[in-house]
Structure 1
Amino acid sequence: MDDAVKQPNDRALRNGLVGVGVVLIFDGSGGMKRVEPGVDHAAAPANGFKLIVGNSKAPEFKIWLRDELGEFNSGLITAPTSRSRCTVMDDKALIVLRVVRPGAAPQDVGRQFLTVWIESNRVIIASELNILDFLGLSKVDQPHHAPVTPADLIARLALRATDRLEPLIEMLGERLDGIEETLITHSTEKAQDNLEQLRRTLISFRRLVWPQRDALSTLEIEDLSFFSDRDRLRLRDAAMRTARIGDELQALSERAVLVHEEIIDDRAEQMNKAMLLLAAVTVVFSPLTLITGLLGMNVSGIPLADHGAAFWFVCILLVLIGGGIAMWMRKLRWF
């Protein structure tokens, strides 16, 4: 049996998913170039910045982070997390964003996090996600449309994360439409099951979107010296777009509540109809039961006790009384 260790493919190496990562230098005018990691490379231009991307699980990248940023800061970057957040330390910032898996179903969005360390002329991204493909930077011979500032890079990350959410929000809206159509056909039980699953999914989406909006808003309002007005505008746009997704989720949640109330009303109406039918049957048969009970007493003096056709006479009487009560209830629109 071949015990050779499986070697990573060229694509994983090229995109920094294994090893010490990948280094890109942006000139601040929309251009960029790639520099091999592990060697002394040129510093970023005065108006540009440097991007280092690595896998947060790769041992080589963790060692590089510890040597570069220290034990405490490197631990913040690689520590497991469950929510988006933004932390500012001196003139540096740490922001955690959550991205859904490509092609994920609404009920299983996954937990792909990317942690970004931001300085005036350097950005470090630690994530198991293929960041270069995610941002469209996997090819070096790009047109001059690369990020021009660290804030521009963060805004693009947030917008790409939102782009992955929008199709899932549309799918949730279509599912809610399907539940409403199911209610029209009075399939209440099936609609209730689907609605419960949809509401759980909406809750998980809100847990994803709202902290991300708050993290972007926090980064925008923090007093970082290297953020320009244009940078803050870009971050505000990203936060507003994330907030719009949150508003759509809130609207879907409110619709789901209305559908749930409609299901409850439908069930209450069905129960009321059943109770009305039972009440009508009770009203019809109560006097008949009284009459038959009186005639069935084991005492002397019962009328028609010795008459041969007494049974049929009583039956006809009961039918007439029951029919009369039913007609009277029908006239009152009880059923």
Structure 2
Amino acid sequence: MSRPDTAPHPDVMVIRLDGRGGARTVDPAGEGAMAPPEEGDGFLWAHIRLGAAETPERLKAAGLDDFVIDALLADETRPRCTVHGDGVIVNLRGVNLQAGADVEDMISVRLWLTATRVIGVWRRPLTATADLLASIERGRGPVSPGDFISRFVLRLADRAEPAVADLNELVDDLEEALLERQPEIERSKLSSIRRTAIILRRYLMPQRDALTTLEIEDLDWLSERDRSHLREAAERIYRLGEDLDSIRDRTQIISEQIMDARAERLNDRMLILSIVAAIFLPLSLLTGLLGINVDGIPGAENPGAFWVVCLILLVLGVLLFLIARRLGMFR
């Protein structure tokens, strides 16, 4: 059985699970491949690629009505849970762990669950799906649709936690750099962390609401154990949301500290310029008066007048420096 994250991705994959952890792959082109099994004979999991040309026909052949098909084929989705007839539509999002991808570019999965079938539609491979396939290969697959969805959402939370932890570590590094007064921190890096935290939270918090809704729905095929796992997944997502709120606030504080440090450096430079201006402005005025081209300039005929003026300017400059220091301009 191929795993979506490591092998070529088939347009459709159909697996019949026996309800005891075992499973067998079914030829999707076979007659009745997506028909629900008899009661007590496990359940069926169909995993279909959204972009495949045959996907709408396959969903119709599976006996799904237009409402469910439209929900599964929607271009843009947000996490939600909607009960419809004897089943439930669940839209979820998972972090993008594909090589070279941004984790905040979250991957959607659309699921239709009943007591005997799980039909999922995917646009891009999701690592949580590969985790479920790996458990099936080990003979420890889901035993019911309720067990399937509860395991799936827990794996989504498992995969999201390292991404949030990495963001926390990046913020820790920036805070440490501020404490150690290291050279200029890249504002672009700070903005990237903040943007990632905001986007992750935008999808994770509605996902928690969707799981809470699913947990309290009156669905016979959801056992107490399944509901307990759904509660656990919802709580973990809530904690991730709190961590993302903390990351967002911490990056805002770091940004303010960077701006304060820049303002402080600018103020220091402006103070130096003010001191220089305060000292040299009177001296410039005096030399400007002595440099006007009119008769009557004192010492114009005296060969030693230049050095006398220089001495006067030096004494005046020292006096102005002492006055500025006494006024506390150097503090």
The bucket for the TM-score relative to the shorter chain is: 0.7 to 0.9
Matched, 1:129 2:125: yes
Distance in 1 (alpha carbons) for counterparts of 2:312 and 2:8: 94
Matched, 1:187 2:178: no
Distance in 2 (alpha carbons) for counterparts of 1:216 and 1:121: 20
Distance in 2 (alpha carbons) for counterparts of 1:265 and 1:320: 38
Partner of 1:241: 236
Residue 130 and residue 265 in structure 1: after superposition, are their counterparts in 2 closer, same or farther (change >3 A)? Answer: closer
1:218 pairs with one of 194, 213, 236: 213
Partner of 1:32: 22
| Offset, 1:303 | 3.1
Distance in 2 (alpha carbons) for counterparts of 1:274 and 1:138: 62
Q: CA RMSD in A?
A: 3.0
Partner of 1:323: 318
| Offset, 1:328 | 2.7
Residue 108 and residue 271 in structure 1: after superposition, are their counterparts in 2 closer, same or farther (change >3 A)? Answer: same
Residue 123 and residue 289 in structure 1: after superposition, are their counterparts in 2 closer, same or farther (change >3 A)? Answer: same
Partner of 2:57: 63
| Offset, 1:294 | 3.0
1:281 pairs with one of 276, 280, 286: 276
Distance in 1 (alpha carbons) for counterparts of 2:219 and 2:325: 79
Stretch deviating more after TM superposition (300-309 or 156-165): 300-309
Distance in 2 (alpha carbons) for counterparts of 1:194 and 1:91: 48
Distance in 1 (alpha carbons) for counterparts of 2:237 and 2:45: 24
Quick one: which amino acid aligns to residue 168 of structure 1?
A
1:269 pairs with one of 241, 264, 280: 264
| Offset, 1:239 | 0.9
Quick check: 1:20–1:60 contact (8 Å CA) kept in 2?
A: no
Matched, 1:11 2:2: yes
| Offset, 1:170 | 2.4
Stretch deviating more after TM superposition (312-321 or 159-168): 159-168
Distance in 2 (alpha carbons) for counterparts of 1:51 and 1:101: 23
Quick one: which amino acid aligns to residue 133 of structure 2?
L
Quick check: 1:220–1:235 contact (8 Å CA) kept in 2?
A: yes
| Offset, 1:140 | 5.4
| Offset, 1:44 | 4.5
Stretch deviating more after TM superposition (89-98 or 16-25): 16-25
Aligned residues: 321
Residue 60 and residue 249 in structure 1: after superposition, are their counterparts in 2 closer, same or farther (change >3 A)? Answer: same
Distance in 2 (alpha carbons) for counterparts of 1:212 and 1:140: 25
TM-score, normalization: structure 1? 0.83
Matched, 1:53 2:41: no
Quick check: 2:135–2:141 contact (8 Å CA) kept in 1?
A: no
Quick one: which amino acid aligns to residue 125 of structure 1?
G
Partner of 1:118: 113
Matched-pair identity in %: 36
1:98 pairs with one of 93, 114, 120: 93
Residue 305 and residue 123 in structure 1: after superposition, are their counterparts in 2 closer, same or farther (change >3 A)? Answer: same
Stretch deviating more after TM superposition (231-240 or 275-284): 231-240
| Offset, 1:156 | 1.5
Residue 82 and residue 76 in structure 1: after superposition, are their counterparts in 2 closer, same or farther (change >3 A)? Answer: closer
Distance in 2 (alpha carbons) for counterparts of 1:84 and 1:177: 30
Distance in 2 (alpha carbons) for counterparts of 1:19 and 1:150: 22
Quick check: 2:97–2:103 contact (8 Å CA) kept in 1?
A: no
Quick one: which amino acid aligns to residue 94 of structure 2?
V
Quick one: which amino acid aligns to residue 157 of structure 1?
F
SS in 2 for 1:11: coil
